[in-house]
Amino acid sequence: MNTIAERIYDYLKEYPPFNLLTKTQLLAISKAVDVIYLENNQLLFKIGKPVENHFYVVRNGAIGLFRDDNNLADKCDEGDIFGLRALLRKGDYKLNAKAIEESIVYSISSELLENYITTNADASQFLMASFASNTRVKSPATNTFIEEFQRSSDYTYLQTADYSKNPVTCNTKTSIKEAATIMTDKHVGSIVIIENNEPIGIITDKDLRTKIATGQYQIDDLVSSIMSSPVITYPEAITVAEAQIAMLKHRITHLCITKDGTNTSELTGILSEHDIIVLRENNASALIKEIKRCQTAIQLKDIRQRAEKLLSRYLEQGIPIDFISRLISAINDGITQRIIEFSIAKMNTMPPVKFAWLAIGSQGRQEQLLMTDQDNALVFENVDDTLYDETKSYFLKLSNFINKDLETAGFELCPAKMMGKNPKWCNSVSKWSQQFNSWITAPDQDNLMLCTIFFDYEHVYGDKDLINQLSEGIFKSIDSRDIFLSYLGRNALQNPPPLSFFRQFLVEDDGEHKDQFDIKARAMMPLVDAARLLILSYNIKAVNNTVERFEKLVELEPQNKDTYILCIEAYKNLLRFRTEQGLTHNDSGRFIDLESLNKRNRLQLKRSFKAVKAVQELIKTRFKLSQLI
């Protein structure tokens, strides 16, 4: 094999679908690849031109795919494949492909695709997974693959991710130059920095481009000066879905795999974005990428509307609702984070102290699937009393910008004004702690209602340590007043199973929704309230999602495992049912016309009520509340 072919082989074998081919298959491709050099702004193919008999892989640089001269649709970095959809669709190109920096691409013919890639089951499945969700392919040669893939119920995202079992590592004494040499020799895009075989940091190709090539650091500096730390770690049994969510949430491209999933145990592997073979999640990844490029709230509104279409398609495909909810939450968080960046830019000065933006309620529980109203808050670092009013004034102004842009992006303003721009919900850590303490020590109906909303909060932007301080304050107040959990328990029993004596659904008696069933208040919130109460009783922080709370309770109370599993399945069914109703009627899905339900739907709902009854009986016993019913 000649030198050029060897280099091509060594490069392609690191990326899917080429890493799924046999050595013989990949060698044959490497010998036949055409190498194309493009200067910055040079076109590779153009809208309206006949599709050529090739698809492409980025070797160096970056290729932009444009809807017109300036409207960037996607950016392809090293290892990315593009032009494949056009090749299979035939006809004319629908996008411009242009180098957005000096680039080298590999051109691979359709003959090589047919002879070596589609004949390999794993490689062909990867290609189908990467484009089948939004490509209509008419070619008889490829219909079989797509049809088989779409009929498959063995979704890739539920499988354990196939990560590299031989991570490339170095120690903190290694220089950046030495690390880069190791990465080059090993043909990898990352290197993990370890101590006692435990991961403490990571360097990727991107770090070398953004921190070394820019002159920010010197090539002889130690790796510790540019490494990302702490690393994000997961256990060896990580699924593709978990990896996808983690990368979206943390905006990273590599996860470290360790024995027990923590960064204090032995490093056993590395999982990169290119290792992930995900069925139909590529659209979600593309939305996250687009969020980063958006410059206005109007553009973000378009993305959120597209996310709703994605949601609808995922439901039709039967993808698990808890995975869908976390994926949509990651998109919502990404939109909010971008809006916060816009809003800070609108201020005359940078924030005077550290702050954090919180999602509360359903978004805080990562259960906001539909376009509902905003529920959020802001917490800022403690300041001297003499600076408090001035500091709060700054953050109220910032919050006002954020809430307005969120409204523009499609999230309606909260009718109850539970938003960061409300002076009640924009406070320092100490003021928030005082507020929480007052609710806990005087748990009347209004304060209990506030607790049920604000105890489900999730960090979206800013300093996480401020959130940890809030949690510490809440549990300290609860510990000092044990009876509070009994009050919260009584509140959790306010909505018993929603069936009458004659086993008919309890519906609204009057008002706009007369004779409709309130699935949120009568079926879902009892489970939400029960999960929150029980997890708080264990002083467990940072587990806010209802399903995850019940899963944690299964671990803590194996004697009640059957009840909690019943609750998990019920809540998933209710969340899916409400979401489907909302998409069908273009509303929140909260109020349901029972006449529109078939017998199967009614039976599904009634089965969910068994979980409400079972967990409420458990709460009555646990908190000695039987006398209340």
Decide which of 190 and 292 is more confident. 190
What does the alpha-carbon distance between residue 354 and residue 316 come to, in Å, rounded to a whole number? 43
What percentage of the chain carries pLDDT values higher than 90? Answer: 47
* Exposed/middle/buried for residue 458 (C-beta within 10 Å: 0-12, 13-18, 19+): buried
Beta carbons within 10 angstroms of residue 410's beta carbon = 18
Higher pLDDT, residue 567 or 274: 567
- Separation of alpha carbons 551 and 134, rounded Å: 34
Lowest mean pLDDT among 160-169, 260-269, 292-301, 553-562: 160-169
Residue count of the chain, please give it.
Answer: 629
Place of tokens 């036949």: 32
pLDDT band at 277 (very low <50, low <70, confident <90, very high): very low
The overall average pLDDT reported for the chain is: 85
User: In this structure, are residues 71 and 295 in contact, taking their beta carbons and an 8 Å threshold?
Assistant: no
**Superfamily holding 282-432:** Beta Polymerase, domain 2 (3.30.460.10)
Give the Cα separation of 530 and 478 in Å (integer): 17
Residue 401: pLDDT band with limits 50, 70, 90: very high
Averaged over 318-330, what is the pLDDT?
A: 83
In this prediction, residue 563 carries a pLDDT of 95
Over 50: is that where the pLDDT of 175 sits?
A: yes
pLDDT (mean) for 494-506: 72
Note the pLDDT tens digit of each residue in 415-433: 999 999 999 999 999 999 9
Question: What is the separation of C-alpha 279 from the centre of its chain, rounded to a whole number of angstroms?
Answer: 15
Positive or negative CA dihedral for 103, 29, 124, 155?
Answer: negative
Same fold: 169-275 with 282-432: no
Taking 80 as the threshold, does the pLDDT of residue 404 lie above it?
yes
Q: What is the C-alpha to C-alpha distance for residues 293 and 578, in angstroms, rounded to an integer?
A: 32
Tell me: the pLDDT tens digits for 126-169? 665 454 333 322 223 333 332 333 333 334 445 567 788 889 99
Phi-psi region of 542 (alpha: psi -120 to 50; beta: other; left: phi over 0): left
Name the token pair of 278.
Answer: 């995900």
Under CATH, which number does the domain 3-152 receive?
A: 2.60.120.10
pLDDT tops 80 at residue 570 = yes
pLDDT band at 510 (very low <50, low <70, confident <90, very high): confident
pLDDT of residue 330: 86
Lowest mean pLDDT of 74-88, 163-177, 550-564, name the range. Answer: 74-88
Residues 278-298 have pLDDT tens digits of: 433 445 766 877 888 899 999
Whether the per-residue pLDDT at 464 is higher than 70: the answer is yes
Query: From CA 382, how far away is CA 72, in angstroms rounded?
Result: 43
Query: In Å, how far are 458, 505, 545 from 463, measured between CA atoms?
Result: 12, 46, 21
Which position has the higher pLDDT, 29 or 240? Answer: 29
Mean of pLDDT values over 444-448:
87
Record the tokens describing residue 300, joined without a space. 């973000």
Q: 326, 127, 312, 128: which is closest to 243 by C-alpha?
A: 326
Percent of the chain at pLDDT > 70 equals 90
Q: Please state, in angstroms and rounded to a whole number, the distance separating the CA atoms of residues 17 and 31.
A: 17
Q: Which residue in 367, 621, 361 sits closest to 489, CA to CA?
A: 621
pLDDT tops 90 at residue 501: no
> CB burial class (10 A; 0-12, 13-18, 19+) of residue 213?
exposed
Beta strands in 110-197 (DSSP E): 169-170, 190-195
Output 243 or 583, whichever has higher pLDDT.
Answer: 583
Q: Where are the domains of the chain?
A: 3-152, 169-275, 282-432, 487-628
Name the architecture of domain 169-275.
Roll (3.10)
The pLDDT value recorded for residue 154 is: 36
Task: Tell the residue number behind the tokens 């903190």, with chain if given.
Answer: 172
Region 448-456 average pLDDT: 88
Please tell me which of 325-329, 568-572, 607-611 the model is most confident about, judged by mean pLDDT.
568-572
3 state SS of 139: coil
Output 219 or 91, whichever has higher pLDDT. Answer: 219
pTM of this structure: 0.59
* pLDDT recorded at residue 2: 63
pLDDT level of residue 99 (50, 70, 90 thresholds): very high
Contacts of residue 128, Cβ cutoff 8 Å, sequence gap at least 6: 145, 146, 149
How sure is the predictor about 513, in pLDDT bands with cuts at 50, 70 and 90?
Answer: confident
**Two tokens, residue 364:** 């805080």
Q: What is the pLDDT of residue 185?
A: 92
pLDDT tens, position by position, 216-251 = 999 999 999 999 999 999 998 887 767 877 776 677
